[in-house]
Chains A and B, each alone.
Chain A
């Protein structure tokens, strides 16, 4: 069959997969669509009126959008937590699920780019960032680096995952010579994207809270411990709703790796707290604002301690093998780790870095409803992309969605069970 016809079969087949599903599936996608539409309206208002509809002001010029961006870069980088054991250590149980990690990375990168897009004051000038057409201030600007590496990481992951899946669809194995180098490249790239994002903050001498060498390692630690949480949820859902089979070993191993990453994350936070409190310079103000508040300005304090509690709880749940193996505590741990890191790496990074501002002004930022709506819309877009990709990827991985089956026009639900 010619390439074009192959691809056409793939497209029509994918569309059919995506447009058929259980009530749960439709409920889920409808909810996402509602959030997307709500976000679109909120964003339209923001474009028309200006960023004044957010709570950001000169004193706190970055907020919820950039916080989410930072967190999601970490989630995208976390795909590598699966890739390393799968390919570097050739650990079979995880091999099967690497593809999902990469799909997660792709969705996360899309959300990252969207969060940046909604945050800039002139979205109509987005093209100024493109090399050749615009002017990318590379290599001086870390944001220019970030634009490049994020897009390259996206392309690498997207290429690998679509290649593997498409080849499986056509009943052929993937080309090792193409995939393995790219996958191995994605490991340093994952470390790279998050290091570059950390350097974005790290390089600013004007913000002592960020201008600390610990930031890059801390970003990596918090990324590796929180990103895979979504995957653990996903894998359990796949086991429940599809014929997908995955060894318990694989899931527990991921949880164990997350525990070690969380330990490192907690250690680095402790190191940071020691340095600030013990040295007791004026720079302590920012850390104090986060954990204790400054005078009557105490908006962030409950969130700070909630993040600490969630992180410690998650660490405890994951480090104890019995707790890891119990599905209730495992999922509790996932929820805790995801929320904890979401708080301390999102708002917990941005707001204390900017409060008080460079000349001592204190403006307490927390997001407006408009920002929450736009952010929810972007998360919904990411989840929708992830869902739709999975709707096609899982049948391919299970061998149910194959070109020879398509050619014979058999409906998927008439297929006999096939081992993957």
Chain B
């Protein structure tokens, strides 16, 4: 039975109760705990996948996609993996772990955490990822996919904000020898 208990409230509760066992990163969940998270950042209209895939036959051959989803350029261990290593072949509304266990898109962090276990632990503790919310209360978590494109997770470089102005003398001229 899944208890919908926000991890943050759990931590706060245990902090108040003086119990520190829940403060440490939680052991890999057996599906009981669920974090309160914003919905996965699907592209417009792409979900539920079964709308298209329900009637299709499954082709498990590794290949480059040509008819659909060709906009997805996989740059994420693409030497060794392809789409169906993460997406469940039988039901595209789900992802699957290495064991074959299905996970929903709302729990995609469990899938990422299989290889990126350290990041998952850090993320649960609040140390990995963008931090908003309250430091002594409800922390706001995001899914991995909210920042990292699962197909191309590496961040692209961005333009920096303007550099600070170096100090100048009152006349506006830079320091010139007298």
A binding-site residues for B, Cβ under 8 Å: 52-55, 57-59, 298-299, 363-366, 368, 370
Question: CB of B45 within 8 A of chain A?
Answer: no
Assess the B167–A366 pair: CB atoms within 8 A.
no
- Residues of A near B166 (CB, < 8 A) are 363
Q: Which residue of B lies closest to A357 (CB)?
A: B167
A368–B178 Cα distance when bound, in Å, is 10
Q: Which of A59, A364, A370 counts the most B-chain CB atoms under 10 A from its CB? A: A364
Assess the A52–B170 pair: CB atoms within 8 A.
yes
Assess the B175–A364 pair: CB atoms within 8 A.
yes
Question: CB of B80 within 8 A of chain A?
Answer: no
Assess the B170–A366 pair: CB atoms within 8 A.
no
**Set A52, A53, A366, A370: member contacting B178, Cβ < 8 A:** A366
Assess the A363–B167 pair: CB atoms within 8 A.
yes
Query: Could you tell me the dominant secondary structure of chain A's interface residues?
Result: loop
B binding-site residues for A, Cβ under 8 Å: 166-170, 175, 177-178
CB distance from A365 to the nearest CB of B (A): 7
CB distance from B163 to the nearest CB of A (A): 13
Q: How many residue pairs, one in A and one in B, have C-beta atoms under 8 Å apart? A: 25
Assess the A57–B167 pair: CB atoms within 8 A.
yes
CB distance from A121 to the nearest CB of B (A): 16
Q: Which residue of B lies closest to A54 (CB)?
A: B170
- Given contact pairs A299-B178, A364-B177, A368-B170, a sample of 7 additional A-B residue pairs in the complex whose CB atoms are under 8 Å apart: A53-B170, A59-B167, A298-B177, A299-B175, A363-B166, A363-B167, A366-B178
A53–B169 Cα distance when bound, in Å, is 8
- Residues of B near A59 (CB, < 8 A) are 167
Assess the A55–B170 pair: CB atoms within 8 A.
yes
Q: Which residue of A lies closest to B168 (CB)?
A: A57
CB distance from B100 to the nearest CB of A (A): 54
A365–B170 Cα distance when bound, in Å, is 12
- Residues of B near A299 (CB, < 8 A) are 175, 177-178
- Residues of A near B167 (CB, < 8 A) are 57-59, 363
A49–B90 Cα distance when bound, in Å, is 74
- Residues of A near B170 (CB, < 8 A) are 52-55, 368, 370
CB distance from A52 to the nearest CB of B (A): 6
- Residues of B near A368 (CB, < 8 A) are 169-170
A55–B171 Cα distance when bound, in Å, is 9
A55–B175 Cα distance when bound, in Å, is 9
- Residues of B near A54 (CB, < 8 A) are 170
- Residues of B near A363 (CB, < 8 A) are 166-167, 175
CB within 8 Å for A365 and B175 given contacts A52-B170, A55-B170, A57-B167: yes
- Residues of A near B168 (CB, < 8 A) are 57
Q: Which residue of B lies closest to A60 (CB)?
A: B167
Question: 3 closest A-B pairs (Cβ-Cβ)?
Answer: A57-B167, A364-B175, A363-B167
CB distance from B172 to the nearest CB of A (A): 11
A363–B177 Cα distance when bound, in Å, is 12
- Residues of A near B177 (CB, < 8 A) are 298-299, 364
